[in-house]
Amino acid sequence: MAQEDALTEGKRFEASGLKQAGMMREIVVDTETTGLDALQGHKIVEIGCVELQHCVPTGNEFHRYLNPERDIPESAREIHGIDDNFVKSMPRFADIADELLEFFGDAALVIHNAPFDLGFLNNELKCCAKPPLSNPVCDTLVLAQDRFRGDRVGLDALCRRYGIDLSVRERHGALTDAHLLAKVYLELRGGRQQGIGFAEPLVKPFAEPLPVAPAEAKPSSQPSSQPSSQMSSLKGQSPQATEQRKERPPLRVLPASPEERVAHRALLAKIHQQQT
């Protein structure tokens, strides 16, 4: 699929991100290629995938170096360090396509600058006489652009913003970058707050729900003990506003389901492990 086609169908991933919160299984995907445009004959030389469950890596990965059946230009070698001699004995994309698709399953794909990687993946699938990917896609570049308008939102910049260690790589690598992106994605989803220690969980996983206020409170014959500062804030309001305040129903506290509690506890444990 052309990168332009991927962009035109971008509505399926442009606003995904947080809307895909219901997707429990997600795959972080990154590729290294021989060039920038699949339509000019450039191919994938490395693909790295990291499986997430509730935004937390499970340890399941898919990583392959590929023979692109063409030369790798020097400009590309300078980025990822993969040369012709290294990949000449590697499998072709067609040799691993079924295995890759099985690993993807119906999971949502998490990709930084999704049109680029989707363009290459779908072009490779087309060469194998296979249909394009139909998985939901979360473009973390779009998420970051929405959150940090006007700032740099490349993977390196986001890692530095969130204090993620970049020393694990000297050059771009698909699996290494997928692991880095998994950490960035967790941050973009609000999984960790900077500057807060995790000696204790932010939320007790199995805390009892807060008590719900009664629907109607009986009038008290005791004098009001409300501070004068609070009382003064009511002065100057119309009778209608005061009446609406009195009639406002109490807030309902909805306890998490058992499944949500288990997932949340696993997420907090993983975050705490990363912090220690």
Q: What pLDDT, on a 0 to 100 scale, did the predictor assign at position 3?
A: 43
pLDDT over 70 percentage in the chain: 61
For residue range 243-276, list pLDDT tens digits in order: 555 565 665 556 665 556 556 666 666 665 555 5
Superfamily of domain 3-188: Ribonuclease H-like superfamily/Ribonuclease H (3.30.420.10)
Identify which has the larger pLDDT, 127 or 266: 127
pLDDT over 90 percentage in the chain: 57
SS3 for the chain is: CCHHHHHHCCHHHHCCHHHHCCCCEEEEEEEEECCCCHHHCCCEEEEEEEEEECCEEEEEEEEEECCCCCCCCHHHHHHHCCCHHHHCCCCCHHHHHHHHHHHHCCCEEEECCHHHHHHHHHHHHHHCCCCCCCCCEEEHHHHHHHHCCCCCCCHHHHHHHCCCCCCCCCCCCHHHHHHHHHHHHHHHCCCCCCCCCCCCCCCCCCCCCCCCCCCCCCCCCCCCCCCHHHHHHCCCCCHHHHHHHHHCCCCCCCCCCHHHHHHHHHHHHHHHHHHC
Give the mean model confidence (pLDDT) for residues 140-145.
96
Predicted confidence (pLDDT) at residue 191 exceeds the cutoff of 90: no
Residues belonging to the active site: 172
Identify which has the larger pLDDT, 24 or 156: 156
Q: What pLDDT, on a 0 to 100 scale, did the predictor assign at position 275?
A: 58
- What residue spans define the domains of the chain? 3-188, 199-214+226-276
